[in-house]
A and B are shown apart, each in its own frame.
Chain A
């Protein structure tokens, strides 16, 4: 079973994402900000991370940079999942190393499709 870490400061979004991911046979872990997510990754790296952009303590972009510098032998796939839907944000995320990008709001088909594209579903 593949593991997905859902990183979002909204409990509601985490709950919705968890529900969809569990129906797609993922084991789901949650983090409320980038710092929590980084600790979770360093402890046990997931297969894929669903990452919000704007969060307290550590943003999605800061988390992505920290993950790159963390020296993890295998970097999990990173799928940004955010309301920042402009091309400039998308380009910045991809240039910073994100593998895919989901624009909120999302549904099951969107999430499944993006997870297939990064090769984890």
Chain B
């Protein structure tokens, strides 16, 4: 006899857990993803359906099972040099900023970096443009909510399918070594990125101010209210006049006053620069 089907109520509870922990929402027409993504956990624990999983989640004393469930549900879709023209434009922006800032390293934040392809792509790009070492080399901080994704990012290990998506073969030859069926980033590449766990919807921004923040294809999973919260976090972390880079289908328009479309870099958003009047008022207050 086939196991009883999961109830809508169990799916809703798991979707609520995901939103509570990560801010990510699952659209009603994609609810099937919950069962598909959690199948390995059901199998591993010998559970017949999501209702039995919910029962275990409620009974569990530690949050370990909840972490596992959230981790499995997070969308980790990414690839090397995703929207390559956008990353090229980031390279151009960094080169321009270097002319204005020569006494310190520029700082880049890759927020929601998943398994690391975006920050590693940036590191390759900067090194290839002569910005790989010393003061010229931007500091790259890459964060994600998922410990599993970050562990993979730190290992620099990618499957044959992952390595071939977006990564030109010459770059693969330069920056990766073959290991069994996998491809492993050379230490010289991985060392250029600082990977840290961070929850965009609950944690304060990483310390220090950033010149450029990339937060691509992350906000689209959040509710409008949660997006505003995240824009506040991003705004608190960026230098005045710094650049915010979102995914192709994402925008700041109508969602935050902290950023406005950049005139110089199409599709990028410029962080507001406090006016002299506002700054003086703030100082006086």
> Which of A's residues lie within 8 Å of B, judged by CB?
85-87, 90-91, 94, 100-103, 106-107, 109-110, 113-114, 117
Contact = CB atoms under 8 A, between A and B. Distances in A.
A94 B165 contact: no
B169 A94 contact: yes
B178 interface: yes
Contacts of A102: 164
B173 A103 contact: no
A113 B178 contact: no
Interface string B74-112: 000001000000000000000000000000000000000
B161 A117 contact: no
B132 interface: no
Task: Give the interface centre of B164, B165, B169 by most chain A CB atoms within 10 Å.
Answer: B169
Interface of B: 79, 160-161, 164-166, 168-170, 172-173, 177-178, 181
B166 A87 contact: no
B169 A90 contact: yes
A117 B79 CA distance: 13
Contacts of B164: 102-103, 106, 110, 113-114
Given A85-B181, A107-B161, A113-B165, 17 more contacts: A85-B178, A86-B178, A87-B173, A87-B177, A90-B173, A91-B173, A94-B170, A94-B173, A100-B169, A102-B164, A103-B164, A109-B79, A109-B161, A109-B165, A110-B164, A113-B166, A117-B166
Contacts, number: 35
A94 B79 CA distance: 23
Contacts of A85: 160, 178, 181
Contacts of B168: 100, 117
A87 B178 contact: yes
